[in-house]
Structure 1
Amino acid sequence: MTVADDSAEEHGHHLPAVEDWPRGFGEASWWPFVTALGGAGIYVGAALFLLAQGQQPIVDPLYGPLVFVGAVGLFLAGLYGWVYHAFVKAFWSGGGHGNTGLRWGMILFLGSEIATFSAGFVYYFFIRVGTWSTEGFPELLGSLVLVNTALLVLSSITLHWGHVELRKGNRRNFLVGLAATLLLGIVFIGGQVLEYYEFIQHEHFTLTSGIFASAFYGLTGLHGLHVSMGAVLIGIVFIRALYGQYTADRHTSVTTVSMYWHFVDAVWIFLVVVLYVGSEVSL
């Protein structure tokens, strides 16, 4: 057993996928594949749900929700393992975080995220071509989305402030900034759930209400999933911060999670301008 393994076991932490596979290619991890499988399953569940709609459904209506719930669980489990493997294991083993590599890894990941969201926006722009009617649309640009936008922007500010305070060596302010960011993120998610409830129950505006509805729920739902994932990441960082695992010189995971959260914030602002405001504009 290596010194790293001894250090990890001393603190009661397991080390998933610590062997080389294949040999010579460095330390392997199957967690990214688990996460990707869960993410793909979410889309499959949504597709099965749509296929079960209409007068002549193609599949059983039960398949979509079952696949979706199972995929979300698999996605979250994979995300936990991935973060643990990349950051927590490295901390306890004393092997370092691989600062440059992890930052570039996050940049590349965000590049793939830009491509994913871009595909959704291209679909929206495509359906906007030609005659556009807002008949049957609920009032999208209301006070709820404005409040939610303000909360998410504020969460980016609190996270940046907390990160700056950590680099100054002020651990208390760092914890306050993280806690505020996590709380604001959770409230934002709750606001989006409330918006969905209002649209579906009171406005009868559902995923099957037309091509605009599919674009709306597809884009906002995809963003909501990313915010939820970001909240999980910030929660992990917050718990680690409570154990004193970050210092002014050791905060790579804080940096990478901050990059992700600010990206999600920027996407939301663009989404509000294009989708919420854009739905009110007649071409």
Structure 2
Amino acid sequence: MDSGGRSEPFDERPPRADGSGHRVPEGQAPEEYGDHRGRGDHDEHDHRSRWPLVAAAGAAGLYGGAAVSILGTETGLVPPLLGVGLAAAGTIVLLAGVAGWVDQAFLAPARDERGPRTSRASYVSTTLLFLTTDVSTFGALFIYYFVVRIGAWPPAELPPLLGSLVIVNTGILVASSVTFHYAHRALERENQRRFLGLLGTTLALGLVFLAGQAYEYYEFVAHDGFTLTSGLFGTAFFGLTGLHGLHVALGIGGIAVLCWRAIRGHYGPDRDTSITTVSLYWHFVDAVWLFLVVVLYVGASV
């Protein structure tokens, strides 16, 4: 921070090899610092992440392919294999986008300790754009569910949905958002021990939530005979909860990378872009689950 109280430009590289964590003062040779300021606008352009958009395009292909496959199976209007092929291609693009995003935003700074500065604003803005596309994806499935509700209700295959398991699972996911928030706060206050503890707790809670959702699926399939093919409601239920579970799994992967880097000491009050972007994603996943519980679990039970 300079004498006027302004924060230095963001830099999410690990501390220098000498352990000082200080940036090279203004005026020192850019070549020694790995600074590419001379590249001007081109340098800023290089730091704009396009991987979230690639991941969003892949997700659209995956979800669209699943919809086409179901439509073809139920109506015969299109070949179901067309949807399967589209979903497979979308899955490949989605995984490539996620892998590229993780590598560029999280792993590359860990490998290149003297590389150029990264732009916090560009990563946050592309993450928000990715989440905006996700709202549309979830919205399409919710609209499908609302259309199902307009027809004959309740469906004969409706199992008991609202029980202790979903209530406990909801509390676990909400708690994980709280621990993530306060982990970030601890980092901003330079309390590394508290930061590591809360971040690890967030990861553990996410894993417990995912295990709880898997157990819920087991109960529905094995004991109630309720599956994806159990009519229109079964398609809506497993489509929405499965999509959310996929998002949770991706979020857990991101948090695991954060934990790995945090243990290596890569984060600080002015080196937190990865923490910010993953926390935005995780809070979004939490909010979607709360809406899903109200609309799907509670709504289907009344």
Same topology, TM > 0.5: yes
Identical aligned residues as a percent: 48
Change (3 A) 1:136 1:217: same
Structure 1 residue aligned with 2:196, among 175, 193, 199? 175
SS at match of 2:135: helix
Which of 14, 18, 43 aligns to 2:63? It is: 43
Does the 8 A contact of 1:37 with 1:75 survive in 2? Answer: yes
1:169-217, CA deviations, whole angstroms, 9 ceiling, x for partnerless residues? 0111111111111111111111111111111121111111111111111
Task: Tell me how large the CA RMSD over aligned residues is.
Answer: 3.2
| Pairing partner for 1:83 from 102, 106, 114 | 102
By relative contact order (CA 8 Å, sep 6+), the higher-ranking structure is 2
Contact kept in structure 2, 1:155 and 1:185, CA below 8 Å = yes
For residue 107 of structure 1, what is the aligned residue in structure 2? 128
The 8 Å contact of residues 176 and 205 in structure 2, kept in 1 or not, is answered as yes
Aligned residues: 260
Q: Structure 2 CA distance, aligned partners of 1:107 and 1:79?
A: 15
The answer to whether the 8 A contact 1:90-1:96 is kept is no
Structure 1 Cα separation of the partners of residues 179 and 242 of structure 2: 24
**Does the 8 A contact of 1:134 with 1:280 survive in 2?**
no
1:220 alignment counterpart: 241
Distance in 1 (alpha carbons) for counterparts of 2:109 and 2:231? 48
> Which of 67, 80, 95 matches 2:116?
95
Alignment of 1:36-185 (within 5 A): 36=56, 38-40=58-60, 42-43=62-63, 46-47=66-67, 50=70, 64=84, 72=91, 75-90=94-109, 92=112, 93-185=114-206
Cα offsets for 1:229-271 (capped at 9, x unmatched): 1111111111111111101121111011111101110110010
Partner Cα separation in structure 1 for residue 137 and residue 61 of structure 2: 15
Check conservation: 2:186, 2:194, Cα contact below 8 A.
yes
Give the drift of 1:146: 0.8
The two structures have a TM-score, normalised by structure 1, of: 0.79
TM superposition shift of 1:41: 5.3
| TM-score normalized with structure 2 length | 0.74
Please report how far the alpha carbon of residue 84 of structure 1 lies from its aligned counterpart in structure 2 after TM superposition.
1.5
Q: Partner amino acid for 1:78? A: G
Residue 58 of structure 1 deviates from its aligned partner by 5.4
In structure 2, list runs of 5 or more residues that go unmatched: 1-13, 18-41
Task: Please name the residue that 2:230 is paired with.
Answer: 209
1:247-266 alignment, distance < 5 Å: 247-266=268-287
> CA 1:47–1:123 in 2, change beyond 3 Å: closer, same or farther?
closer
From the CA coordinates, give the structure whose radius of gyration is larger.
2
What is the alpha-carbon distance in structure 2 between the residues aligned to residue 258 and residue 36 of structure 1?
18
Q: Find the aligned partners of 1:101 and 1:25 in 2 and give their Cα distance.
A: 9
The match for 1:3 is none
8 Å CA contact 1:134–1:279 kept in 2: the answer is no
